[in-house]
């Protein structure tokens, strides 16, 4: 389908400001999502690029990432209908001798992604429109870095929203309340899950809802630079404080995806040297060959957000502490003996 994507990228370009082809399968333009920018009309931080057989979109200003189809849909819905039809026809020809259902499924899976997030409000947008909104006050109180707010969404009726994606709650819905939505994307920018985090005492504190069951529950894969050291933390919110980090969201740190990063990953488990389960896991990861962080004794807080909030340690300092307290192999084994308080 690459030739169709290529054709529609060119057509879409006539609707985009500062659109320019940089080289084969790479275009640059002013991102229509963030305005890019309101003060400087020459800014162009949106890109269309190739991944295998499709084209994807990424804005280096606001972080907007999706496939080409979703950007076309956003900019010109009539052009989008033509695009879907043409892809469908091409698929139908290709699969002619077999079943005709397959190309329909392929077209459908390619237009799915941002539909999940469409009914939500981006929190950075809310911050501009209504700085006094409780959801914005919450981000400020938690000291979540301002440049990461665009990754977070707000669902005023979180159960209704969830049911629109996957029928999780029995109708009629009871105990409806707002939650913060943290979407998970694949490397290619496809939303496959989200975490819904309570603002108050609602239980459970967070739900993680998978839209695509085949994906591992790893947060932040779409923003990782694989050429650099990757920090693997427990929670998505913690990962927002640490550059180039991903979160396992309460699952094991040793999944196939993370095992593939063994040489460049630093595992940063919650700081609980007295928790039998965590200590046992950490020792196992050392044996597998991972680099692991063992926080020094003077750090009493359990996780990164807590260190920022109650330890008064800046995210830069935390990164420094992690780097100087990360060990691997025999050295890690020796440090583990002293660190383990169980």
**List of residues contacting Zn ion (CB under 5 A):** 31, 33-34, 36, 59, 61-62, 64
Q: Indicate the residue among 128 and 174 with the shorter CB distance to Zn ion.
A: 128
Q: Indicate the residue among 28 and 61 with the shorter CB distance to Zn ion.
A: 61
Q: Indicate the residue among 32 and 315 with the shorter CB distance to Zn ion.
A: 32
Minimum Å gap between C-beta 54 and Zn ion is 20
Q: Indicate the residue among 59 and 196 with the shorter CB distance to Zn ion.
A: 59
Minimum Å gap between C-beta 47 and Zn ion is 10
Minimum Å gap between C-beta 61 and Zn ion is 4
Q: Indicate the residue among 32 and 273 with the shorter CB distance to Zn ion.
A: 32
Q: Indicate the residue among 59 and 218 with the shorter CB distance to Zn ion.
A: 59
Positive/negative CA dihedral, 228, 71, 149, 164: negative
Minimum Å gap between C-beta 6 and Zn ion is 22
Minimum Å gap between C-beta 35 and Zn ion is 8
Q: Indicate the residue among 71 and 246 with the shorter CB distance to Zn ion.
A: 71
Minimum Å gap between C-beta 240 and Zn ion is 19
The number of C-alpha atoms within 13 Å of 25 and in the hemisphere containing its C-beta is 12
How many Å apart are CA 33 and CA 122, to the nearest integer? 11
Q: Indicate the residue among 31 and 293 with the shorter CB distance to Zn ion.
A: 31
Minimum Å gap between C-beta 46 and Zn ion is 6
Q: Residue 8: which of 68, 70, 78 has the closest Cα?
A: 68
């Amino acid at each position: 389908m690459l030739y169709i994507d290529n054709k529609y990228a060119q057509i879409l370009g006539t609707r985009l400001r500062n659109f320019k082809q940089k080289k084969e399968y790479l275009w640059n333009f002013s991102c229509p999502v963030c305005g890019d920018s309101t003060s400087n009309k020459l800014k162009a931080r949106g890109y269309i690029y190739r991944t295998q057989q499709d084209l994807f979109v990424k804005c280096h200003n606001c972080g907007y990432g999706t496939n080409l189809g979703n950007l076309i849909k956003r900019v010109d819905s009539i052009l989008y209908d033509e695009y879907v039809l043409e892809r469908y026809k091409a698929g139908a020809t290709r699969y002619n001798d077999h079943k005709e259902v397959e190309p329909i499924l392929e077209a459908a899976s390619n237009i799915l992604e941002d539909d999940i997030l469409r009914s939500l409000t981006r929190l950075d947008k809310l911050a501009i429109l209504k700085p006094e909104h409780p959801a914005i006050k919450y981000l400020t109180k938690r000291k979540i870095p301002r440049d990461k707010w665009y990754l977070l969404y707000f669902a005023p009726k979180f159960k209704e929203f969830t049911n629109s994606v996957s029928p999780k709650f029995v109708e009629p819905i009871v105990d409806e309340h707002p939650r913060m939505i943290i979407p998970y994307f694949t490397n290619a920018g496809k939303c496959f899950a989200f975490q819904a985090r309570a603002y108050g005492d609602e239980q459970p504190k967070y739900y993680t809802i998978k839209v695509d069951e085949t994906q591992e529950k790893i947060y932040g894969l779409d923003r990782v630079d694989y050429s650099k050291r990757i920090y693997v933390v427990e929670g998505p919110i913690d990962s927002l404080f640490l550059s180039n980090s991903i979160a396992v969201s309460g699952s094991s740190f040793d999944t196939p995806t993370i095992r593939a990063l063994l040489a460049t990953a630093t595992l940063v488990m919650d700081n609980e040297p007295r928790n039998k389960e965590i200590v046992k896991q950490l020792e196992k990861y050392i044996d597998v060959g991972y680099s692991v962080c063992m926080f020094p004794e003077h750090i009493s807080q359990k996780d990164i957000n807590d260190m920022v909030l109650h330890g008064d340690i800046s995210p830069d300092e935390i990164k420094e502490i992690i780097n100087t307290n990360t060990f691997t192999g025999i050295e890690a084994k020796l440090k583990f003996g002293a660190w383990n308080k169980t």
